[in-house]
Amino acid sequence: MRTVLRRLRRRLRRRGIGLLHVYVGLLLLFLFLPLAVLVLFSFSASGQLRFPITGLALRWYQEVFSSSAVIDGILASLGVAAVTGAVVATVGTLAAVAVNRYRFRGSAVVAGMILAPAALPGLVIGIALLNFFGDIHLTLSLLTVMIGHVIYTLPYFYLVLSARLRRFDPMLEEVATDMGAGPLQRFRRVTAPLIAPAIVASAFVVLALSWDEFQITFFTIGDQSTLPLVIWSRARLSIDPSVNAIGTLMVAGSLLVVIFTRRFIAESYS
């Protein structure tokens, strides 16, 4: 057995494939196995979620798209994500700019407070909000969900944006100041256009997080449902490939978001 492995390793090495490559390949396979299974079974003609798959069909997608519950869920998720994104982008940008550009005392504390929600599991945030809404007699609805999503995604937006802001070269602003630009002008003509891509990228992270969020939403939602909750209630009633179809749609949605931000991701990791 040992010699077989050694020979295999040598052969792979010759092709420039080391142990590390194999490991990474396997790990990526592991990461994508459930998704592959998910997508595969969403096209299964029979209702069975077992191998072998007998035939391919689009019927589950037809069924899903004709279900008003699913459509409502998609619209609800999109709405929540959009509003959350807008709110977080506004609040978060102002905050990130404040902390990064103006070095005032206590900025570390502020940063800590912004990041605090990320240190808690969604469970605690969810029940704290549920309790809070009960105390102030606020009916649960998509609004309460949005509040939860804003709190949840704000730290991540802030993290990503401030990481980019740190790479931002203050030289350009200096030049503008030297040329006589006032603070507002400086912001408008120099800062804003430069950090806009960073803001957009960070906002996309928010969209993706909100689109996918379940744990906090579970506690703060009222009569409507976001897409993850539609999947949850559907899956509890019957795990048939229609759940897979919705899941695949969710993946597709995330894929789109990630592709859009591809350019911006490239910048941060170069």
The verdict on 251 binding other proteins (CB under 8 A) reads yes
With CB under 8 A as the rule, give the number of residues binding other proteins: 114
Looking at residues 1 to 30 of the shown chain, list those that interact with other proteins (rule: CB under 8 A): 20-21, 23-24, 27-28, 30
In degrees and rounded to multiples of 5, residue 56 shows phi and psi of -105, 145
Task: Tell which residue, 149, 74, 80, has the closest CA to residue 117.
Answer: 149
> 19-54 burial by CB neighbour count: b if 16+ within 10 A, else e?
eeeeeeeeeeeeeeeeeeebbebbbbeeeeeeeeee
The verdict on 185 binding other proteins (CB under 8 A) reads no
The verdict on 266 binding other proteins (CB under 8 A) reads yes
The verdict on 172 binding other proteins (CB under 8 A) reads no
What is the distance between the alpha carbons of residues 66 and 198, in angstroms, rounded to a whole number? 38
Within 10 A of 255 (CB to CB), how many other CB atoms are there? 11
Q: Applying CB under 8 A, which of residues 9, 12, 45, 49 lies at the interface with other proteins?
A: 49
Q: Applying CB under 8 A, which of residues 89, 114, 145, 190 lies at the interface with other proteins?
A: 114
What is the distance between the alpha carbons of residues 52 and 34, in angstroms, rounded to a whole number? 16
C-beta of 262: minimal distance to other proteins in Å? Answer: 6
Region of 4-12, 44-52, 78-86, 194-202 interacting with other proteins (CB under 8 A)? 44-52
The verdict on 195 binding other proteins (CB under 8 A) reads no
Q: Applying CB under 8 A, which of residues 134, 188, 189, 193 lies at the interface with other proteins?
A: 134
Q: 44 forms bridges with which residues in the sheet?
A: 56
Looking at residues 61 to 100 of the shown chain, list those that interact with other proteins (rule: CB under 8 A): 63, 67-69, 72-73, 87, 90-92, 94-95, 97-99
Task: Tell which residue, 152, 126, 250, has the closest CA to residue 205.
Answer: 152
